[in-house]
Amino acid sequence: MSKFPDSGESIFTTMSKMANEYQAINLSQGFPDFPADEKLTNIVAKIAKQNIHQYLPFSGYLPLLEKIATLTLRSYQRLVDPVSEILVTAGATQGIFTAIQALVNTNDEVIILDPSYDCYTTPIVLVHAKPVRIALNADFTPDWNAISDAMNQRTKMIILNNPHNPSGKIWSESDFLQLEKLLELFPEVLILADEVYEYIAFGNRHISVHSREKLKNRSIVISSFGKTFHITGWKIGYAIAPAHLMQELKKLHQFLVFSVNSIAQVAIAEYLDIVAPNTLYNFYEEKRNGFRSLLATSRFSLLPCEGTYFQVASYAAISNENDLDFTKRLIVDYGVAAIPLSVFYENKSDRKLIRFCFAKKDETLEKAAERLIRI
Ligand code: PMP
Ligand code: GLN
């Protein structure tokens, strides 16, 4: 019998495959269609000739760990120890998997806020713990009454994703104050903060768990260079946590991957000297504004987008179909691929919402919009 009876093919695989099959414009799976920065690819070409092709220390290449510490200090005024508090991971996905597997025990409960990204539940189920999925409010803010009702002595961890995929919502100061107040009653509960879109927050208004005095010492914060540097295929990210939690992650990491790709680590360490990730939001803010104005005359109704490279749209004025059927028809009849939002919920909602990825060249977005405004 399968250990994962509820786990089918990821929606990202399904939609990208179908987009390829029908040669549709792929605004479904989240990845940029423009090239990586030439400065980064030049660094790769240069360092590939050096002797950097063997295993690195298992928790990460020391210069990279040091530069991540500097970046964390610059971005959030948080001082972290490169050696005991940072772990380089094979993408955010491995950081999330490792944190859950290393810290959550059998019969624990982990709170997940729906709509939620798809890699959280499997590692929870694998340790025979229970994912407790609580729907966000209709505007994608946390439902504090429901969260508070779900907390009990078995609650081990709350997973936050901020800025939020798929909705593009960003947590406010008041959301954090509510969380901090609630957690005063649960001193043992940990936070897993998935902040992979930390540098794609419009108006630069992301509040990180790194800057919350009451949360940071009970949190594992996850980041992804894939998002920050337009290199999703490199699969490189990192986790930051206080040393007593990090030592548990490391015990597992050394037998899960041992160490992460050396070329990627050395290249990013050098690249971090010449880029400032906290200007990235300007680039994507222009893309968001451009995409939204291209769709202004369409029959889609666009929800607010405060961060990430995803735009959620309602098709309620266009069709009564469920969102999966609608996105499939969008590919076949109109040649544009998107992601249905219901797949991110445990209790399937039928809000007629779909997600477009706007991390694309302007010409890709223009071509897609030409098709979408005809619907
Ligand atoms: N969390 C969220 C919210 C994401 O959107 C993604 C996107 N892929 C990940 C985690 C995984 O990131 P990575 O590709 O670095 O594993
Ligand atoms: N995070 C990407 C998205 O939300 C997908 C990554 C993947 O395909 N696993 O579209």
Atom of ligand 1 nearest to the CA of 194: 1
Residue 3 inside a domain? The answer is no
One domain for residues 364 and 258: no
Q: Same domain, yes or no, for 127 and 57?
A: yes
131 and 55 assigned to the same domain: yes
For ligand 1, what atom is nearest to the CA of residue 93?
16
For ligand 1, pick from 10, 160, 196 the residue to mutate: most ligand atoms within 8 Å of CB: 196
4 in a domain, yes or no? no
Q: What is the pLDDT along the chain (375 residues), one digit of tens a residue?
A: 888 877 789 999 999 999 999 999 999 999 999 999 999 999 999 999 999 999 999 999 999 999 999 999 999 999 999 999 999 999 999 999 999 999 999 999 999 999 999 999 999 999 999 999 999 999 999 999 999 999 999 999 999 999 999 999 999 999 999 999 999 999 999 999 999 999 999 987 899 999 999 999 999 999 999 999 999 999 999 999 999 999 999 999 999 999 999 999 999 999 999 998 988 899 999 999 999 999 999 999 999 999 999 999 999 999 999 999 999 999 999 999 999 999 999 987 789 999 999 999 999 999 999 999 999
CA of 185 to the centre of ligand 1 (A): 31
Q: What is the CATH number of the domain that holds 57?
A: 3.40.640.10
- 245, 271, 297 - which closes a domain: 271
- How many angstroms is it from 119 CA to the middle of ligand 1? 8
- State the distance from the centre of ligand 1 to the C-alpha of 91, rounded, in angstroms: 7
Same domain, 135 and 73: yes
What domain count does the chain have?
Answer: 2
Which residue range forms the structural domain that includes residue 368? 11-30+278-372
Does residue 244 share a domain with residue 310?
no
Q: Is residue 343 domain-shared with residue 209, that is, in the same domain?
A: no
Ligand 1 centre distance from Cα of residue 224 (Å): 7
| Inter-CA distances, 136 with 27, 133, 173, Å | 24, 10, 17
Q: What is the pLDDT of residue 347?
A: 87
- Which burial class, exposed, middle or buried, applies to 198 when counting CB atoms under 10 A from its CB (0-12, 13-18, 19+)? buried
- Which pLDDT value is given to residue 158? 98
Q: Which residue has the tokens 């069709």?
A: 319
Last residue of a domain, one of 238, 271, 304: 271
pTM score, whole prediction: 0.98
| 308 lies in the same domain as 338 | yes
| Residue that the structure tokens 């179908």 belong to | 18
Distance CA 185, CA 181 (A): 8
Q: Measuring from each residue's beta carbon to the nearest atom of ligand 2, which residues come in under 6 Å?
A: 10, 12, 29-30, 165
Continuous segment of H or E residues that includes residue 131:
strand 130-135
Do 302 and 342 lie in a common domain?
A: yes
260 and 115 both lie in a single domain: yes
The reply to whether 239 falls in a domain is yes
Please, is 77 exposed, middle or buried when counting C-beta atoms within 10 Å of its C-beta (0-12, 13-18, 19+)? exposed
Q: Is residue 2 part of a domain?
A: no
Atom 3 of ligand 2, nearest CA residue = 30
Out of 271, 304, 332, pick the residue that ends a domain: 271
Is the same domain home to 45 and 107?
A: yes
Read off the CATH number of the domain in which 333 is found. Answer: 3.90.1150.10
* DSSP reduced 3-state for 90: coil
